[in-house]
Chain A
Amino acid sequence: MSKMHIKLKVNGEEVETLAEPRELLIHVLRERLDITGPHIGCETSHCGACTIDMDGKSVKSCTVFAAQANGADITTIEGLGNPDGLHVLQEMFKEHHGLQCGFCTPGMITRAHRLLQENPDPTEEEVRFGMAGNLCRCTGYQNIVKSILAAAAELNSAKEAAQ
Chain B
Amino acid sequence: MNEMTPPKEERSEALKGLGCSRKRVEDARFTQGKGNYIDDIKLPGMLFGDFVRSPYPHAYVKSINADKALEVPGVLAVITAKDLEPLNLHWMPTLAGDKQMVLADGKVLFQGQEVAFVVATDRYAAADGVELVEVEYEELPPLVDPFKAEIEGAPILREDIAEEKEGAHGPRRHPNHIFTWEAGDKDATESVLDSADVVAEEMVYYHRTHPCPLETCGSVASMDKVNGKLTLYGTFQAPHAVRTVASLISGIAEHNIRVISPDIGGGFGNKVGVYPGYVCSIVASIVTGKPVKWIEDRIENLTATAFARDYWMKGKISATKEGKITGLWCHTTADHGAFDACADPTKFPAGFMNICTGSYDIPTAYLAVDGIYTNKAPGGVAYRCSFRVTEAAYFIERMIEVLAIKLGMDAAELRRINFIKKEQFPYQSALGWEYDSGDYHTAWDKALDAVNYKALRKEQAERLEDFKAGKTRKLMGIGLTHFTEIVGAGPVKNCDILGLGMFDSCEIRIHPTGSAIARLGTISQGQGHATTFAQILASEIGISADDITLEEGDTDTAPYGLGTYGSRSTPVAGAATAMAGRKIRAKAQMIAAYLLEVHDGDVEWDIDRFVVKGAPERFKTMKEIAFAAYNQAIPGIEPGLEAVSYYDPPNMTYPFGAYICVMDIDVDTGTTEIRQFYALDDCGTRINPMIIEGQVHGGLTEALAIAMGQEIAYDEMGNVKTGSLMDFFIPTMWETPNYQTDHTTTPSPHHPIGAKGVGESPNVGGVPAFSNAVHDAFRAFGLTQSHMPHDHWRIWQTANKLGLHD
Contacts and interface: CB of A to CB of B under 8 A. Distances in A.
Interface of A: 20, 22-23, 27, 30-31, 34-44, 46-47, 49, 76-78, 81-83, 86, 89-90, 93-95, 97, 99-106, 109, 127-129, 131-145
Contact of B725 (A89, A100, A135): A135
B31 A109 contact: yes
A104 B526 CA distance: 11
A141 B733 contact: yes
Nearest to B738: A142
A91 B213 CA distance: 25
Interface string B25-50: 01111111111010110100000000
Contacts of A136: 214
9 contacts: A31-B122, A41-B265, A41-B298, A76-B33, A77-B31, A81-B32, A97-B24, A99-B30, A138-B698
Contacts of B452: none
B2 interface: no
A137 B734 contact: no
Given A30-B40, A46-B724, A77-B32, 6 more contacts: A81-B31, A86-B32, A101-B526, A106-B33, A138-B214, A140-B701
A67 to B, nearest CB: 14
Nearest to A82: B32
Given A30-B39, A39-B37, A128 B697 contact: no
Given A94-B23, A139-B697, A142-B697, A105 B30 contact: yes
B124 A140 contact: no
A105 B690 CA distance: 18
A102 B264 CA distance: 9
Q: How large is the interface on B (under 10, 10 to 19, 20 to 34, 35 or more residues)?
A: 35 or more
A46 B124 contact: no
A132 B732 contact: yes
Nearest to B703: A140
A38 B214 CA distance: 12
Interface string B685-708: 000001101111111111000000
A46 B728 CA distance: 11
Contacts of A97: 23-24, 690-691, 693-694
A27 B31 CA distance: 20
Contacts of B39: 30, 36, 39-40
B214 A135 contact: yes
A152 B51 CA distance: 45
Q: Which 6 A-B pairs have the closest CB atoms?
A: A37-B33, A101-B526, A102-B30, A103-B265, A140-B697, A100-B526
B32 A137 contact: no
A151 to B, nearest CB: 11
A108 B295 CA distance: 22
A105 B214 contact: no
A101 B732 contact: no
A131 B23 CA distance: 24
B698 A44 contact: no
Contacts of B732: 131-135
A128 B37 contact: no
B266 interface: yes
B184 interface: no
Nearest to A91: B31
B726 interface: yes
A100 B527 contact: yes
A94 B732 CA distance: 21
Nearest to B688: A97
Nearest to B28: A94
Contact of B33 (A38, A127, A145): A38
Give the residue among B40, B42, B732 with the most A Cβ atoms within 10 A.
B732
* B-side interface mostly: loop
Contacts of B34: 37
B734 A41 contact: no
A125 to B, nearest CB: 9
Interface in B691-749: 691, 693-702, 724-726, 730, 732-734, 736, 738-739
B32 A43 contact: no
Given A20-B124, A47-B725, A97-B690, A137 B31 contact: no
Nearest to B295: A40
Contacts of B739: 140, 142
A46 B726 contact: yes
A127 B736 CA distance: 12
Nearest to A35: B33
A115 B287 CA distance: 49
A97 B690 CA distance: 7
A37 B29 CA distance: 10
Nearest to A90: B31
Contacts of B699: 140
Given A93-B31, A140-B736, A103 B691 contact: no
B263 A102 contact: yes
Nearest to B33: A37
Nearest to B36: A36
A86 B29 CA distance: 11
Contacts of B268: 137
B589 interface: no
A44 B298 contact: yes
A78 B695 CA distance: 27
A137 B736 contact: no
A43 B296 CA distance: 11
Given A82-B32, A101-B215, A102-B35, A94 B27 contact: yes
A30 B725 CA distance: 22
B387 to A, nearest CB: 20
B528 interface: yes
Contacts of A93: 27, 31
Contacts of A109: 31
A144 B696 CA distance: 14
Nearest to A78: B33
Interface in B200-245: 212-216
A32 to B, nearest CB: 11
B525 interface: yes
A42 B725 contact: yes
A82 B268 CA distance: 31
B297 interface: yes
Give the residue among A39, A102, A109, A143 with the most B Cβ atoms within 10 A.
A102
Nearest to B699: A140
Contacts of A81: 31-32
A92 to B, nearest CB: 9
Contacts of A89: 31
B124 A23 contact: yes
A103 B266 contact: yes
A138 B29 CA distance: 17
A135 B297 CA distance: 16
A101 B31 contact: no
Contacts of A131: 732-733
A109 to B, nearest CB: 6
